[in-house]
Structure 1
C-alpha cells in the first residue's frame, strides 16, 4: 500500500484516472471517503501497490529528523516503518506511558517488539514542578498560557498538551480513587482495587505530603468535628523517599516520563516524536498498523499486530473516525467534570507556627455526587525557594467537582469542511449540562460555602466553569459489553476490530468526581495485562 496526498482539485475518480487504477479498488481501499467525487485537497489517499503507474505526488520514505543529545532515545519513522511491532502505542501521556511500562516490565527480554509514536516533541524531562526555576506563576503560565504547552481546542475552552508526557508534565498530581457505581462500571470492584494498588505503587501515591502540616491538621480537625468525618489528607502522586544508599529520588512530582524511564530500563522500545498518527490501518477486519505523518508531511505506515490508542479523549475518536472505523458510541457520550472554583483567605498572624501546606479532600460517595478539595497556600507546592517573604494575608484554593451524566448527544464529530495541516478533519464538539448536572453543580457550590464556613475562612471568590472547560474530559470511546452503547469491550478493545485498543480517558463509561488520572492508569495497566495474555 502507498499513500498519496491529494492535490487541490483531486477526487477519488480523478486519482483513479491519474494513476490508471480501477475506481472500485480505490474506493475499497479508502472506505472512509463516502463519495468518489468529493474534493480531497490535502487528504491522504491509499493507493494499491502497482509498479506499472507513474507516481507524480507520492510521498517517498526519507529519514525523519531525530533530536541530537536528547534525554531519551528516539527513532526515525523510516527505521520504524521497516519493523513489524507486536504492540504499537500512540501517545505518551499517562495512559500510553502506563501501558508501555507494564508491557516492558512483564515482557523484559522475550523478543517482543514495542513501538511508540508521539505527535509532540521533547519539551520537559520531568514534571514542571520538579524544575528549580519554576515557581507558581511560571507553572501557571506554562500550564494555561504557553502556546508551546497548551493548544486550544477550537470552539471550546478545552486545551490539549501535545508533547512527550502529555498533560502529566503540568498536572496537579492529585490521585484519589474514583467512586465507581457497580451498575455503570463494567470492571468488578475487586479487580479495580487490585489495579489501583498497582497504579498507586507505580506512581508513588500517598497521603503523606501534607501529613503533619499544622494548618492542614487544624483544618482537618475542624472539618471532622463538624459535619465532614470523611475529610482526608489529599492523596498525591509524589515521591517523598529520601536519598539512601545512593538511590536518588529527585523527581518528586510524578509525570508519565517516569513510566517511559522505567520501561526503558526493563526493555528497549522505539520512540518517534513529532509523529502524528492520522489513521489506523486494518486488513481483513483486523488492525494492521498506523498511518503516521511528520510535520513536513512525509508519510509512513507502521506495521503492528496490536495498536493501543492513547491520544486523548479528543484525539483517539478523531483517529478512529478518520480511519473509517465506525461504532455507534465512538465520539459520543462526552463527559467532563462540572466544577466551581474559588479562593479563601486567612490571616497568617492567626497561625503563629510553621505553616505547612494545605491539601484536603472531602471525597465523593454514593449519596454525595461531588467532592470538595482545598489546596494552598498558593505557591506552597513549589518548594525550591527558601526565601519566601512573610505575608500577613494568605490565599488558598477551594473547589467543588461534580459528576456529569453521559448522554449520547454530547459528542465529538468530524467537521466535513475543515481540515488541519495533516489533512485530518477538524473536530466539532458539543457538550452541555442536563438539568440533573446543573443541580449537582449547585449542590457542590453550596457545599464549598459550608466547608469554608466550617474551617473559619471567608470566601473571596467562587465561580463555576463552563461545560466546555477544564482538563478532565472523557467518555468518547467508552467501554462496555454492548456495541450499541459502547466503543470498546471491558478490556479496551474496539468492538469488531481485533487487536485495536484504547487506553486513555475516552474509555470511561461514566466518571466520578475524582481526578481521573489514577483510574486511567489503572485501566491502562489492566489493558496491557490483557494484551500480554492474548499475545502469549
Structure 2
C-alpha cells in the first residue's frame, strides 16, 4: 500500500510526529524517478540505521552540505516511537515493544547469552541510556591510528580554521563539555571534598585513581581545577548553549533526526512548485522507518544496491553506504557482503565489565556540612582508574558515583538525579525532606581487551548458517555472538584482573566517602555491614549495550577492517560508524567517541564547501552555500532552489518569479556570475538596478500615485533592466529578446538603442561566464569574455542607482521557463 499522506489515527493517538518526520520507502523511491520528474536525483548518501550514531551522522551530513549537493536516505528497521529521551519524560516510559535481539549466541555461560539487543526505532538506544560520557585518557588510545588520535585530541575542527578537537566538538553536542552543571548543593560539595581528600591520600600501587581527565588528585594544579575533575561528565545540557537556544537536556539522536527532517521539508517547500511528490524530489534528507535492511549487493568493491524488506535502493556510482546498525548487525552485514580475505571482520569483540555497589551513610556522619539542611538534593561524582597488569600493560576503568537522600526505604540514588519532572507539587515535597540516610551507588565500568590476531578468538561475531532457529528473516543467516570475560588465550587474564581491581577500588572509595564513619552495603537480604561478593555486584557482559571493536580502524588492511575514516578496506564506498570501529574500547561509554568519530567520518565523506576567494576587489553575493543563499528573497510566482551550489529557478506556469539580493542595493558595479541552461528553449534573465519589490512603486505618469502589483516580480521588469537569457529570442526571434541583450531595448543605430552582437549559442548543461558592468547610465554585457551589448539609459524613471534612490539599485534573478542555474555571483562596487 502507498504511504498515507496524512497522519493516521490509532486507538489512542494521532501520528503527527511519524508523518511529519518520516517517509515511506515508496515515497523515497518515487522521489528519485527521473521519468516522472526530470530533475529527480538519487540518494548518494545512504545511512543504514537511524539509531544513536546513524542519527548523528545523517544530521551532520545534512548540515555539512551547505551547497545542497547531496541527498541522504536513512533506513531504520523500527517505527518512530519517542521524540525525546525517556529520562526527559515521566518515569516508567520505556516501551518494551521496540526491543529485539536479531542474533544468536554460543557463549558457554548462559548469562552471557542474554543480550538486551537493539531498540528498533529512530534514536535507538540513545533514547534509553547514556549520560556518563568521559573523555579517553592518553593510554586508552594506545594502538589507535595516529591520524585518528590527533583529530580526537588536538584542534581539528572546523577544518578550515581548527579551534577544537573532535572529542571537544562532540562533547559540546551531547552536553558533556560543562560536566554536571546542574548538580550542586551541600551534599555534592561535602562528598566531593571527602573524595578529593581521600584520593590525595590514596597510596597508589598497581591501581591509580585519578580525575575524569586523568589527573591525579595529588597533582600541583589548583584545587578548584582538581575538584572539577571529580564532577560527573554527564550528557545533560541544563543551561542554554547561547542566548535564544533552549538546552538539549538528556542527549539523544532522535532530536537531531527530527530537526534535520523538518528543515529538509521546509527547504523543499520553499524550493518547489507543485504538491507533495514534487516536494519529495527536493528533500535532501529522508528518514524511512519500519524498513529492515536485509542485505547489500556489490560489484567488486562497490556497493551497488541496498535490499530491504520493502524494496531495493540503488546506490549511484559516486554514492556512499554507511553501516550504523549497531556493532553486531553492522558486522553481520559486513561479513555477508565482503570477501573478508584476511578473516578479520568480527574479531576484537569487546564490551564493558560492570559492577554495582550501593551503600548508605547516616546523614549525621556528614557533619556540619548538612546541618539545618532539609533538602539533601543529589551528587554525581566520577573517578578514573588505571591498573597496571603483571606484564606492565594497562587496563582502565571508571567509577560513576551518584548520591541522594531518598528516605529510609530508598535504594535508587539515580531516582533524584535523572528521573524527576519539575512540577510544583514535587518541588514542594522536596522542601520537606528529612532523610536520615544518604544513598550512594558506585557503578564500575571497566574495559575488556579484544583479540585481533587469533583465527578463532574467544570473543567474536560470525555468521550463524546453521543456528538453532535456522536462517534469519528473509533467508539471511543471523549473527553468532560469543562474549566471555575469561579468555584462555590471555595468560595474564587481563579482563578478570581488571574486574578485581575495579571492585577493590569501589570498596576503597566507599570507605573514603564514609570518612571513617559507619557504612552499610545493600545485599540480597537487605542492608549489611560487609561489601557484597563479586557474584552479587557483577553484571553480565552484554548488559552495558556497549559492544564494539569488530570493524576496528587502522592504516594497514592486513591488520584492520576499516581505514582511518571508517571505510571498510575491502570496499570503496562502504563505511561504518559507532563503537564497531574502535580499536580499543577503553572504559568510557562509547557515546562521546562514537559521536566524535561519526562527525569526523561525515566531514571526510562530505566536506563543508569552502568557496575559493573571489577576484581582487570582488565579494560574493552568492558563493554556493545556504548562508549566502539566505540573503536572497523571492517574490512573484514559482520558487528558487539551491541545488549543488547553484540557484535554480522553479517556474510556475509561465508566470514570472523574482529572486533578488535583499541585503542592499547598488549603484555602479561590475557583476560576475556563471549561468547554465538546461535546454535550448530555456528563458530567464538577470535584473540590475531595479526597485525594491517590497516597497510601493510610484506610477510613471503620476508619481503621487502608487502603481499596484499583484505579482511583485514585475517591479524588476518595469523599474530595472533585464539581461536576457534566451537563445530562441521568443516569441519573434528579435535580437532584443536574445541572450546577452538588455531585454526589449531596440538594437542597432536607433535612438536609445543598444549596440548588440550575438554571442555563441549557449550549450545546455555547460556553465557560461557572464559579466555585467554598470557605470553611470551605461550598461555593458560580456559572455565568456566577449562583449555582447553596450547600452546607455536615457529613461530617468528606471534603472536608478542607489545613490540617487535608496529604494533602487537591486539585483535579481528571474524564473520564467526552464530551469536556468546561476552560481558564483560576485560583485565589485565602483
**TM-score normalised by length of structure 2:** 0.52
1:98 to 48, 56, 59: 56
Does residue 276 of structure 1 match 2:276? no
Give the Cα–Cα distance (whole angstroms) in 2 for the partners of residues 217 and 481 of structure 1.
46
**1:40 — aligned with what?**
none
* CA-CA distance at 1:446 after TM superposition: 0.1
1:129 to 87, 91, 97: 87
| Distance of aligned partners of 1:428 and 1:517 in 2 relative to their CA distance in 1, 3 Å threshold | same
* CA-CA distance at 1:319 after TM superposition: 1.5
1:393 to 412, 437, 442: 437
- Residue range with higher mean Cα deviation, 458-467 or 510-519: 458-467
* CA-CA distance at 1:307 after TM superposition: 0.6
Q: Which structure carries more relative contact order (alpha carbon 8 Å, separation 6+)?
A: 1
Q: Which runs of 5+ in 2 are unaligned?
A: 9-14, 33-41, 106-112, 154-164, 201-216, 218-225, 265-283, 389-394, 405-412, 488-492, 524-531, 610-643, 645-830
2:549 to 459, 475, 498: 475
* CA-CA distance at 1:455 after TM superposition: 0.3
1:515 to 571, 575, 589: 589
For the pair shown, which has the larger CA radius of gyration, 1 or 2?
2
2:462 to 413, 418, 428: 413
| Distance of aligned partners of 1:192 and 1:147 in 2 relative to their CA distance in 1, 3 Å threshold | same
Kindly indicate whether the alpha-carbon contact (under 8 Å) linking 2:52 and 2:126 is maintained by their aligned counterparts in 1: yes
- Residue range with higher mean Cα deviation, 483-492 or 416-425: 416-425
Matches within 5 A, 1:42-191: 63=2, 68=8, 69-71=15-17, 72-82=20-30, 83=32, 84-131=42-89, 133-134=90-91, 138=92, 142=94, 146-152=95-101, 154-155=104-105, 156-159=113-116, 160-181=118-139, 182-186=141-145, 187-191=147-151
Does residue 436 of structure 1 match 2:494? yes
Give the Cα–Cα distance (whole angstroms) in 1 for the partners of residues 84 and 442 of structure 2.
27
| Distance of aligned partners of 1:64 and 1:480 in 2 relative to their CA distance in 1, 3 Å threshold | farther
* CA-CA distance at 1:97 after TM superposition: 1.4
| Distance of aligned partners of 1:364 and 1:482 in 2 relative to their CA distance in 1, 3 Å threshold | farther
**TM-score normalised by length of structure 1:** 0.80
| Distance of aligned partners of 1:329 and 1:204 in 2 relative to their CA distance in 1, 3 Å threshold | same
1:332 to 347, 352, 359: 347
**2:400 — aligned with what?**
373
* CA-CA distance at 1:302 after TM superposition: 4.1
- Residue range with higher mean Cα deviation, 458-467 or 525-534: 458-467
Kindly indicate whether the alpha-carbon contact (under 8 Å) linking 2:387 and 2:498 is maintained by their aligned counterparts in 1: no
* CA-CA distance at 1:341 after TM superposition: 1.2
Does residue 309 of structure 1 match 2:255? no
Give the Cα–Cα distance (whole angstroms) in 1 for the partners of residues 299 and 241 of structure 2.
51
* CA-CA distance at 1:517 after TM superposition: 0.5
Kindly indicate whether the alpha-carbon contact (under 8 Å) linking 2:387 and 2:501 is maintained by their aligned counterparts in 1: no
Does residue 320 of structure 1 match 2:341? no
Give the Cα–Cα distance (whole angstroms) in 2 for the partners of residues 485 and 357 of structure 1.
47
Q: What SS does the corresponding residue of 1:100 show, helix, strand or coil?
A: helix
* CA-CA distance at 1:531 after TM superposition: 0.3
* CA-CA distance at 1:246 after TM superposition: 6.2
Does residue 214 of structure 1 match 2:190? no
Give the Cα–Cα distance (whole angstroms) in 1 for the partners of residues 297 and 329 of structure 2.
16
Kindly indicate whether the alpha-carbon contact (under 8 Å) linking 2:21 and 2:258 is maintained by their aligned counterparts in 1: no
| Distance of aligned partners of 1:341 and 1:197 in 2 relative to their CA distance in 1, 3 Å threshold | same
Kindly indicate whether the alpha-carbon contact (under 8 Å) linking 1:492 and 1:501 is maintained by their aligned counterparts in 2: yes
Matches within 5 A, 1:262-273: 262-264=259-261, 267=264, 268-273=284-289
Does residue 501 of structure 1 match 2:575? yes
* CA-CA distance at 1:365 after TM superposition: 4.5
* CA-CA distance at 1:469 after TM superposition: 3.3
Aligned length: 461
- Residue range with higher mean Cα deviation, 193-202 or 417-426: 417-426
Give the Cα–Cα distance (whole angstroms) in 1 for the partners of residues 98 and 360 of structure 2.
31
* CA-CA distance at 1:475 after TM superposition: 0.8
* CA-CA distance at 1:210 after TM superposition: 4.8
Give the Cα–Cα distance (whole angstroms) in 2 for the partners of residues 484 and 65 of structure 1.
49
Does residue 233 of structure 1 match 2:231? yes
Q: Which runs of 5+ in 1 are unaligned?
A: 1-61
- Residue range with higher mean Cα deviation, 92-101 or 458-467: 458-467
Question: CA RMSD of the aligned region, Å?
Answer: 2.6
Give the Cα–Cα distance (whole angstroms) in 1 for the partners of residues 241 and 444 of structure 2.
37
- Residue range with higher mean Cα deviation, 457-466 or 191-200: 457-466
Kindly indicate whether the alpha-carbon contact (under 8 Å) linking 1:310 and 1:503 is maintained by their aligned counterparts in 2: yes
Give the Cα–Cα distance (whole angstroms) in 1 for the partners of residues 346 and 479 of structure 2.
10
Give the Cα–Cα distance (whole angstroms) in 2 for the partners of residues 300 and 262 of structure 1.
26
2:477 to 425, 430, 442: 425
Q: Deviations over 1:371-408 (max 9, x none)?
A: 11112432012221433584433433211121211114
Kindly indicate whether the alpha-carbon contact (under 8 Å) linking 2:23 and 2:287 is maintained by their aligned counterparts in 1: yes
Give the Cα–Cα distance (whole angstroms) in 2 for the partners of residues 529 and 246 of structure 1.
27
* CA-CA distance at 1:326 after TM superposition: 2.5
Give the Cα–Cα distance (whole angstroms) in 1 for the partners of residues 387 and 476 of structure 2.
42
Kindly indicate whether the alpha-carbon contact (under 8 Å) linking 1:81 and 1:302 is maintained by their aligned counterparts in 2: no
2:173 to 188, 193, 202: 202
| Distance of aligned partners of 1:86 and 1:467 in 2 relative to their CA distance in 1, 3 Å threshold | same
Q: Deviations over 1:47-106 (max 9, x none)?
A: xxxxxxxxxxxxxxx635686443242112123234321201111222111211221111
2:419 to 382, 403, 418: 382
Kindly indicate whether the alpha-carbon contact (under 8 Å) linking 1:278 and 1:322 is maintained by their aligned counterparts in 2: no
Give the Cα–Cα distance (whole angstroms) in 2 for the partners of residues 147 and 211 of structure 1.
30
Give the Cα–Cα distance (whole angstroms) in 1 for the partners of residues 181 and 471 of structure 2.
46
